[in-house]
């Protein structure tokens, strides 16, 4: 056994990692990075701006410097490149929504032992939670997809396709990027009624209202209206159990024209289900928030697609952050 495995260091690091998590969450919640912006401020200046206690704010700022999210010059604090690019609301690459979504999940994660014993969720689904939680969930999806969708749309050839279904498309980020990359493409985002305002705002912000329509619907309760030649199912299957996933895929296949392309984007587990790390942890996140959701392996997704009559099933040469992958096939 190596010395590293005999040392308690790695276990202590895992056990205490949430101190860093909570420091970041508090700073984003208090909007420290936006308050500092492109200026250099003292602890007292920042305390006044965010309405906090000077000593406590200064301790928070010093910890953020230690985490490389701020920089310290004498007694003044400025944003680091990471803080400026991703944590200030002024930046187009602001990631605060997904960080606040993670913050909202903490309450359920600290009850993981309860969920493991009961096998039941300990939090409500985002679609039925408060407006504030829903906003950070849906706009958090926007934060994640904004970093990924340009890469995905460059990788997938939709030059021969004319109408894309973005099923459970949330704010419509992928539909927007597929349409940007393919000037002839129209898209339909089908999602729950509660998602509509976020999607419409996002679609309008990108000037895509004339090419992307929003369709209110529930893919568990109803068939999918319309006819499409490509369907994109991104990060929706993990919210459901295997039977529901099969039903969603069958409904999608029924809405596709012959020769249509179906693509499933998920955090994909190894066939042994014990890695990579993020999809394995994400499965627990689904245990905490759904009755039967989980991460799936490539084999499981492939079988679900094959059962619905999808042919030519293959994994695209694409690996997103946190081991997301795309499995595609034709009907």
Q: Does residue 218 bind ligand SAM (CB under 6 A)?
A: yes
Binding flag, residue 287, ligand SAM (CB under 6 A): no
Q: Please report, as residue ranges, which positions from 96 to 155 form the binding site for ligand SAM (by CB under 6 A).
A: 127, 138, 141, 145
Stretch that binds ligand SAM, among 58-66, 68-76, 107-115, 169-177 (CB under 6 A): 169-177
According to CB under 6 A, which residues from 1 to 30 bind ligand SAM? none
At residue 319, what are phi and psi to the nearest 5 degrees?
-130, 115
We find the least distance from the C-beta atom of residue 212 to ligand SAM, in angstroms, to be 13
What would the x/- binding string for ligand SAM be over residues 288 to 327, using CB under 6 A?
Answer: ----------------------------------------
| Residues 185/156, Cβ–Cβ less than 8 Å | no
- Residues 58, 182, 235, 294: which binds ligand SAM (CB under 6 A)? 235
Instruction: Mark the segment that binds ligand SAM (CB under 6 A) among 50-58, 67-75, 79-87, 232-240.
Output: 232-240
Tell whether residue 195 is a contact of ligand SAM (CB under 6 A). yes
Is the Cβ–Cβ distance between 96 and 89 less than 8 Å?
Answer: yes
- Residue 188 touches ligand SAM, criterion: CB under 6 A: no
- Binding of residue 279 to ligand SAM (CB under 6 A): no
Q: Which residues contact 195 (CB under 8 A, 6 or more apart)?
A: 127, 138, 170, 171
Q: Which position among 88, 173, 295, 302 is part of the footprint of ligand SAM (CB under 6 A)?
A: 173
Task: Using CB under 6 A, count the residues that bind ligand SAM.
Answer: 19
Distance (Å, whole) CA 253 – CA 246:
10
* Start-to-end Cα distance in the chain: 51
| Shortest distance, position 138 Cβ to ligand SAM, whole Å | 6
CB 140, min distance to ligand SAM, A: 9
Spatial distance between the Cα atoms of 299 and 271, rounded to a whole number of angstroms: 6
- Burial code of 184-201, b = ≥16 C-beta within 10 A, e = fewer? ebbbbbbbbeebeebbbe
DSSP assignment, residue 322?
Answer: G
Kindly tell me which residue out of 169, 260, 279, 329 binds ligand SAM, with binding defined by CB under 6 A: 169
Residue 108 or 173: the one with the smaller Cβ distance to ligand SAM is 173
Q: Which tokens go with 204?
A: 């309008």
The secondary structure of residue 274, as a DSSP letter, is S
Cis preceding linkage at 68, omega within 30: no
């Amino acid at each position: 056994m190596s010395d590293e495995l005999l040392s308690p260091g790695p276990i202590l690091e895992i056990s205490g990692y949430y101190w860093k998590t909570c420091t970041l969450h508090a700073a984003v919640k208090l909007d420290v990075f936006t308050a500092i912006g492109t200026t250099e401020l003292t602890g007292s200046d920042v305390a006044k701006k965010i309405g906090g206690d000077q000593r406590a704010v200064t301790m928070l700022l010093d910890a953020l410097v230690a985490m490389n999210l701020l920089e310290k010059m004498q007694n003044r604090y400025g944003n680091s490149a990471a803080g400026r690019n991703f944590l200030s609301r002024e930046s187009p690459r602001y990631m605060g929504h997904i960080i606040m979504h993670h913050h909202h999940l903490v309450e359920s994660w600290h009850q993981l032992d309860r969920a493991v014993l009961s096998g039941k969720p300990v939090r409500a689904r985002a679609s039925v939670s408060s407006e504030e939680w829903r906003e950070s969930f849906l706009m958090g999806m926007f934060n994640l997809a904004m970093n990924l969708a340009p890469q995905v749309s460059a990788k997938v050839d939709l030059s021969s396709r004319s109408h894309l279904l973005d099923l459970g498309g949330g704010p419509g980020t992928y539909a927007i990027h597929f349409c940007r990359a393919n000037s002839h493409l129209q898209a339909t985002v089908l999602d729950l009624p509660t998602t509509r305002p976020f999607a419409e705002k996002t679609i309008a912000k990108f000037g895509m209202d004339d090419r992307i329509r929003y369709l209110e619907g529930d893919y568990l309760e109803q068939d999918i209206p319309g006819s499409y030649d490509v369907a994109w199912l991104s990060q929706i299957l993990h919210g459901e159990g295997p039977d529901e996933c099969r039903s969603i895929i069958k409904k999608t296949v029924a809405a596709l024209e012959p020769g249509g392309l179906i693509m499933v984007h998920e955090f994909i587990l190894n066939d042994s289900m014990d890695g990579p790390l993020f999809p394995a942890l994400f499965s627990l996140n689904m245990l905490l928030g759904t009755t039967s959701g989980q991460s799936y392996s490539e084999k499981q997704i492939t079988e679900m697609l094959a059962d619905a009559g999808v042919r030519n099933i293959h994994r695209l040469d694409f690996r997103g952050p946190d081991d997301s992958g795309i499995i595609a096939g034709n009907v």
